[in-house]
Amino acid sequence: MEIPVVDLCVYKLGKDNVSVEQLEKLGQELRSAFTEVGFVYVKNTGITQEESFFDLPEDVKKPFRRGTYSCDINHGWVSLETERHNWPSDGIEDFRDVHISFFLSCKELSLRVLRIMALGLGLQPETFLNAHKHIGSDLNKTTLRTLFYPPVETESVKKDQLRCGEHSDYGSITLVFQSSKGGLQVLNRAGEYISAPSIPGTVLINIADLMQRWTSDVYVSAVHRVLLPPPGDLSSRQSLAFFVQPDDEAVISCCDGSDKYPPVRSIDYLLSRFSESYGKK
């Protein structure tokens, strides 16, 4: 199955007169995407900042190219505050404001998606939201991360090298904004990698591991990776990922009331995943 596209028009950011029936319909659409593939393209979200970022002139985006954001450190999450130190201060005065406003839009969209996801499972709409009350504060590890993949010299490519290795994300959901440069692939249930190109005007949203556990494996956290460009293609790749994490102190228990997985504190789960990935290196 390919990655479905869901239209959020009736519940886009800023729109609050959505009917119960419309939300239920969206719930079914997201449920189908998240149980079958674990990824969905959402269109008409109401987020416009993504375009403004990717449309910025090259020299403005250059400060991101310091090697700080390679996908190797996908596991080295940084808090919003920490990331601020990396923000370019010259050349673009409102960059920090744009970044914060983008963070807040991502937060708002995530909360809407989490509400619909609960409806899709026949749960109270607040089920996931109750554990995401502190996004953007130091009680929650949700992170907006810029990922820059530098150009690849064909001669230095190692066997089976990838731009971003095969992995699944840790938290509840991830919002991905890609530039037009492709390469992202998602492992589907048939065990085949399918491509997840950037589709203009959409946000790619995927289930992460803690959400899979929370839903007793109903919503699937799919393995994904980013391929190298074809030999001789010296283009770089830029993407933004908004890794949504439940509040540090939230205790995550299977939402169907089962004991498939024992309850776990969100922060403990995250820290155990960090130590696993650092241990592997």
Ligand X SMILES: O=C(O)CCC(=O)C(=O)O
The site partner of 71 among Fe ion, ligand X, none (C-beta below 5 to 8 Å per kind) is ligand X
The reply to whether 222 sits near ligand X by the rule CB under 6 A is no
Least separation in angstroms between residue 225's CB and Fe ion is 8
Please, what is the minimum distance in Å from the beta carbon of residue 44 to Fe ion?
A: 24
Q: Which is nearer to ligand X, 120 or 229 (CB)?
A: 229
Does 144 sit near ligand X (CB under 6 A)? no
* Closer residue to ligand X in complex, CB, 114/176: 176
Minimum CB distance to ligand X, residue 263 (Å): 26
| Binding residue (CB under 6 A) for ligand X from 147, 250, 252, 255 | 147
* Contact mark string toward ligand X, 73..112, x via CB under 6 A: -x--------------------------------------
Nearest to 258 by CA among 222, 213, 210: 213
Comparing CB distances to ligand X, the nearer of 29 and 169 is 169
117 near ligand X, rule: CB under 6 A: no
Does residue number 176 form part of the binding site for ligand X (CB under 6 A)?
Answer: yes
d(CA 164, CA 71): 5
Least spacing, CB of residue 215 vs ligand X, in Å:
20
Tell which positions 53-72 bind ligand X, by CB under 6 A: 71
131 binds, among Fe ion, ligand X, none (CB under 5 to 8 A by kind): none
65 or 75, CB closer to Fe ion?
75
Give me the residues paired with residue 173 across strands: 207, 244
What is the spatial distance between Cα 207 and Cα 217, in angstroms, rounded to a whole number? 11
Minimum Å gap between C-beta 253 and ligand X is 25
Q: Is residue 208 at the binding interface for ligand X, with CB under 6 A as the rule? A: no
Within 10 angstroms of residue 233's Cβ, the number of other Cβ atoms is 11
User: Closest-CB residue for ligand X?
Assistant: 239
Please name the residue that has the structure tokens 């449309």. Answer: 55
> Does the footprint of ligand X cover residue 169 (CB under 6 A)?
yes
Indicate which single residue of 239, 244, 245, 266 sits in contact with ligand X (rule: CB under 6 A). 239
**Nearer of residues 42 and 119 to Fe ion, judged by Cβ:** 42
**Closest by Cα among 13, 11, 18, 9 to 46:** 13
Q: Which residues bind ligand X (CB under 6 A)?
A: 71, 74, 147, 164, 169, 176, 178, 184, 224, 226, 239, 241
